[in-house]
Amino acid sequence: LSLFCGQQPPPSLSPLCFAGFQKAEAPRPPGAKDLHEYPWDRSSLKSMPVDLEQFKKLDAYALKVNVKNSVEELVKALLKQARTDLEKVRAIWMWICHHIEYDVVGYHNKSQLSSKPRDVLQMGKSICEGYAELFEHMCSLAGIQCKKLSGHAKGYGYKTGQTFTGDSDHAWNAVYLEGRWHLLDSTWGSGSVDDSFTKFTYRYNEFYFLTHPALFINNHFPDNSNWQLLKPTLTLKEFENNILHNSNFYMLGLLAAHPETPIIQTVNGKASVSVDCRAGTLFMFKLNGTDKHGLMTLKKHGMNLDIYPQKTGRHKLEIFAKPSKAEAPDDVYKCVLEYVVECESVDKAMRFPRELHQPVGPSWFSERQGFLRPSQSQPVLHTNDGRCCLTFTLSKDISVLTSLHTDGSSLAEDMGRRHVLQTHRGNQIELKVHLPHAGNFVLKIYSKKKTDTGNYDFIFNYLIRCLNTEVKWPAFPQSYSKWLQDYEILEPLSGLLPANRNVQFKLKMHGVAKVLVQAENLNPLTLNKGCWEGTCNTSGCRKVFVMVHENANHSFYSQVLKYEVETQ
């Protein structure tokens, strides 16, 4: 959470006395050359080119400066390593962000609080007013034009879609560098407070240093609109109506979100959100704290989310993101957007099975795990006859595990696996799915390296929908370990054979000497153009096994498939 500072202190605390110090010339008001285009052109997060690598040495020096006896001595010490105006501002910024903590106690008792720079330095804590005044005073001593700005902010306590009335509630600064004004907020650069507003945590935030004005306006609205540094400027109404993108949104390389307003009305029970970003970002969402009642799909440059609330009324929707290649230990999912979804009617048909995992459908993530060229690129598969077929090209040497799930007790875990049939042809994999009944099902796909002995990793899933209540497919036959992944069942596909019938068998298998079908009698199959073929009669038996003789010199057979026979 970012920080609010509450109402401005009484005027008696505001004027600063610069007696005896040479201060910078009076700040000039912003003019045409200070203005940036709105909306953001997606170019840079900063309002001027900044090379953070080149600041490393200066930053480290500024953090170590330990002068508390006077502001003048502190500025003198900081400027020892700073040559340009930009370096001077950077040293002052880094020192304040790492040495002044937010005064959560003072925030609740502002009448006792002084925002005078010397008092802020002595105490080592303040609210935003004190941060901004200390920053302005230190810049002035360093000969840099700086102005304290006040206005409304979407910080601590902000409620999605709220309006702003009354006095301003936050303070920040503008600094004049290289012929232009730039914006920064050292309060928000220093850290954050907890939900109960009782504890401050130092957590440096680079985003609020020389932030691009078209991004700064997202959560800072100055009393004087000239200090937006934008053309065109925004009205307070536009500021209120714009969705809040917090610093995580931009620091993670996200570019835009749709809709751009914080309150979304459902249409026929559905609300949709999309995010544009630079490549390779993972997303998750929470609707009232859970990831149910939604369908999220990853795109190469963002994500799409359809929400189907199952109750009318207002719902809190949070969107989280993280980089796909976690480089730092703190690369966890961070909240980047918050919406309020207002639902007038519920679409009961869009109740999803509990087992559905987000995101749904294939994506760049499943590609990265080795599943290329999916025949079904959509997250939801609709089938009228209860059957569907998917193919992928596998780019890696992986074993694949699949299972089918639905709510209720109609599909036990072992049976869930047997309603999906895998067939491998070279680097192609085909998945045939036969649904046991109508309803909503989840097809889960897992994989692991063939060389790995450990567990399979979940990769992605599809939602399969069938409305035809006549559908009732039996499971595929049960396969055993000797059934190799590139063997293929041509017939019979059903794991449940009719009683008292002659059944035709046709199986593609290589590297075996003999194949037998064991019913009441043993029935040998004959090899014909790469397929083992023959018939067997199901009279007088409950189970039928397919067995192979791997070596003509061996006398024992291995079971590879098991079929059930219908009871009469």
- d(C-alpha 277, C-alpha 257), whole Å: 9
- Strand pairing of 496-497 and 558-565? parallel
Instruction: Please indicate whether residue 41 is annotated as part of the active site.
Output: no
Nearest to 134 by CA among 149, 116, 147: 116
Nearest to 338 by CA among 322, 357, 360, 315: 315
Token code pair at residue 55: 């600041």
- d(C-alpha 102, C-alpha 197), whole Å: 10
- d(C-alpha 299, C-alpha 367), whole Å: 12
32 DSSP 8-state letter: G
- d(C-alpha 213, C-alpha 39), whole Å: 10
Nearest to 206 by CA among 78, 90, 331: 90
**Residue 465 near residue 442, CB atoms below 8 Å:** no
Active-site pick, 139, 185, 388, 536: 185
- d(C-alpha 32, C-alpha 180), whole Å: 10
* Sign of CA pseudo-dihedral 140, 146, 152, 155: negative
- d(C-alpha 253, C-alpha 42), whole Å: 10
Nearest to 240 by CA among 317, 183, 158, 129: 158
**Residue 498 near residue 566, CB atoms below 8 Å:** yes
Rg of the Cα atoms in the chain? 33
**Residue 116 near residue 136, CB atoms below 8 Å:** no
Q: Kindly give, in sequence order, each residue whose CB lies less than 8 Å from that of residue 247, ignoring residues fewer than 6 positions away.
A: 2, 188, 205, 207, 208
Three-state SS letters, 335-359? EEEEEEEEECCCCHHHCCCCCCCCC
Instruction: Please indicate whether residue 486 is annotated as part of the active site.
Output: no
- Strand pairing of 334-343 and 302-307? unpaired
Active-site pick, 128, 139, 343, 388: 128
Angle of CA points 377, 383, 384, to nearest 5°: 155
Instruction: Please indicate whether residue 85 is annotated as part of the active site.
Output: no
Active-site pick, 99, 170, 293, 419: 170
Token code pair at residue 446: 């897992």
**Residue 94 near residue 79, CB atoms below 8 Å:** no
- d(C-alpha 345, C-alpha 332), whole Å: 35
- d(C-alpha 561, C-alpha 564), whole Å: 10
**Residue 331 near residue 322, CB atoms below 8 Å:** yes
Block residue for tokens 């999803």: 352
Q: Which residues are designated catalytic? A: 128, 170, 185
